[in-house]
Every structure is written in C-alpha cells, then in structure tokens.
Amino acid sequence: MSFRSFSRAARETPRPVRRKNDKRPGFRIRRRGKANDMFKVAVVGLGYIAQNHLEAYRSMPDVTIAAVVSRSVEKGEKAAQTYGCRHYETLDAALAAEKLDVVSICVPTYLHEEYVVKAARAGCHVLCEKPVTFTLESLDRMIAACKENGVRFMVAQVARWWPEFIAFKDYIDHKKLGQLHMLYEKRICQHPTWATWHRDPSKSGGGLYDLNVHDIDYLYSLFGMPARLRAIGWKSPTGCWNHVCTSLEWKNGVKAVCETSLEMTGNFPFSIELRATGDQGTLAYALSAGVNINDGEHGSNLNWYPAGDEKVYPLDVEQTDMFAGEIREFLDAIRDNRPAAVTPEDSRNVLKIVLAIKQSLEEGNVVEL
C-alpha cells in the first residue's frame, strides 16, 4: 500500500482558512508587488537552527540572502563568504544598511522579543524560531508590533512540515483511523551538543518550552485547544523542567499522552515516536537518530496496521526538507497576502497550553483550559 495513492494533500504544505479579521480597519499587510520579486532576507544568529534556515533560503530561486547577523566576527565572515552576503554584528546595523523584506530570528529564546520588535518596526516580515517566548505578555507585544507595522509574523513550528507528520495529519483529518481511542507522542534526547544555553531556564525555558512545544503545537494543529491536562515531570538542578509527561483531553473525547525529555544519558539517540489508535486501525511512526536529530540515517518508518488485518503496511512518504517547507509557506503567505499556516493566534494558544503544563507540574493538579 503506497501512501502516494491516498492524497496529494499529505505531501503539500498545509494551508489555512482565510480569517475575517485580516481585513479589519487599520491593519494593512505590507506586500510585494510582482510575482517575480525577490525576497531580501537576513538571518539573525549562526547556530544550528540558523544554518538550516540559511540552507533553505539558498535553495529558493526567489530569495536573496542579504545579511547574516552574529556577534562572532569569525563565524559571521565565514557565513557571509559561504552565502554571498554581508555580515553585521548587530541587527540594528543590518537594518540600517540593507533594504530587507524578511528577517529570520534564530537566537536564544530570551532575545526573541527584542529582535522581533526591531525587525517589525523596520518594516520587515518576521519568521521567529520556537519557542517564541515565555509569557503571553511578551508574545502580545511581539504580535502588536507586527500588526502596527503591517508585517507578517510566523513562529517556525517546523514539526508541522516533517514529512511523516504531514502524512499522519492527513490520516487523522480524513478519519482513516475511525473513532480515535488514544494518541501518543514522544520526543526525547540528550542535551544539545551544539550549545550550552539550554541549561539556563531564563534563556531557553528548558525542555518544557524548547522541545515540548514541537509536539504540543502539532497536537494543537490536529485537534485545537484541549479541554484539560495533567502533567508530571522532573526538574533539573538548574530549574529546567527537562522531563515532562502530559496527558491531554479534548471536548470531543480525544485523548493523548505527550512525553518530552532533554535529559537522556550516555549515547541515547534522538528519538521521536508518534502513534494513534482508532477502531479502524493503528498508525505508528518511529525515528531513532544520532545524538542530534540530523545525525545518522533518516528514512520513513511510518506503518499502517488496519483493524482485522494481519499484515503491516509501510507507507511510502516523500522525503522533503522541513525547514524549506515552513519557510516556503511563510514566503508564499507574504506574496499571496494571506495568513500563514501558523498564525500568531495559533502560537498564542500553544503558549497557553505550555503555561498550563507548567502550572500542572508546579501545582500537581489537573488544569482546565
């Protein structure tokens, strides 16, 4: 059974429904005039995630990488040479020197608000890495700055563009599993080897924010806002909730368990699992990589176990770059003058869920949403 025979939509970027409030008075999105216009882009930060943004932008014929921003002169000059652009030590300098259309914010979470607001006030559309920020008040200031300056704002929830996750969503949306009984999602790994700031809760928020938000956002994209949740976990000596298990329930009866860890030991591999069971069958995906997610061999491991059938059906899922997928969606939304697949309102709701998980962890009770 080939997944290609089901739905082309499962391999395409998810598109949102146009929202009525996009036309409200006083909110005008700055847009490009011609379909063949080039986007001039700056990437802020030169860490692991920023490298993925840069490679994705470089693959797009309608993008010019105009600037990289990094305090490290050595790294900045090397990246500028690699991508044929200029290096600036600060975002202020890049905004003053370049006429930019889009800014990708790929710095530690505690810096996001500062850079998003600066880019928006300069008239740039903003793609901000997850987790977007730690509080609703901070996110509201970021959203307000983008609205006031007529620019698009999207949080880069890249898991929505993971090929198997797109395929999984297609099965859920088309009710191929029938009545859902339970969904399980897992994302567990060692601490990242490419940075140290993740251990500081004031900079990263720990696993609760930095890793957990991938799967909470994905569950939100499937089912919307849960009705209630309950979480248990372990807090590191530095104050990070780095191992978290959350049970969630929606008003329609759907239930899910989400497990997150940044505290796996030894040579434990970066592991992802996504499984859903309904009265028509079970859909299961599992990935075991290296220490970091891009280490080791990757390939589709998505299997369909239909009820009443003894056979296992591997699903053939086209492998595409998730960073290129999310960035392409953001640029297309700007060009088409429409909401992007991850709206600011979506990201606000996801942050509310994460904050509810934190409340449950700290108070030891069920939180109603």
- CA–CA gap between residue 69 and residue 88 (Å, rounded): 5
Decide if 56 contacts 324 (C-beta within 8 A): yes
For tokens 């053939």, the residue is: 316
Residues 146-189 pLDDT 10s: 999 999 999 999 999 999 999 999 999 999 999 999 999 999 99
Q: What CATH number was assigned to the domain covering residues 31-156? A: 3.40.50.720
The mean pLDDT value for 33-37 works out to: 57
pLDDT at 245 (0 to 100): 98
The mean pLDDT value for 288-304 works out to: 77
Decide if 331 contacts 316 (C-beta within 8 A): no
Residues 89-117 pLDDT 10s: 999 999 999 999 999 999 999 999 999 99
Structure tokens at 101: 């259309």
The class (CATH top level) of 159-320+352-368 is alpha beta
pLDDT at 26 (0 to 100): 32
Residues 233-260 pLDDT 10s: 999 999 999 999 999 999 999 999 999 9
Residues 306-323 pLDDT 10s: 999 999 999 999 999 999
pLDDT above 60 (res 140): yes
Domain boundaries, the chain: 31-156, 159-320+352-368
The mean pLDDT value for 132-140 works out to: 98
Question: What share of the chain has pLDDT > 70, as a percent?
Answer: 88
- 182 or 36, which is more confident: 182
pLDDT above 80 (res 223): yes
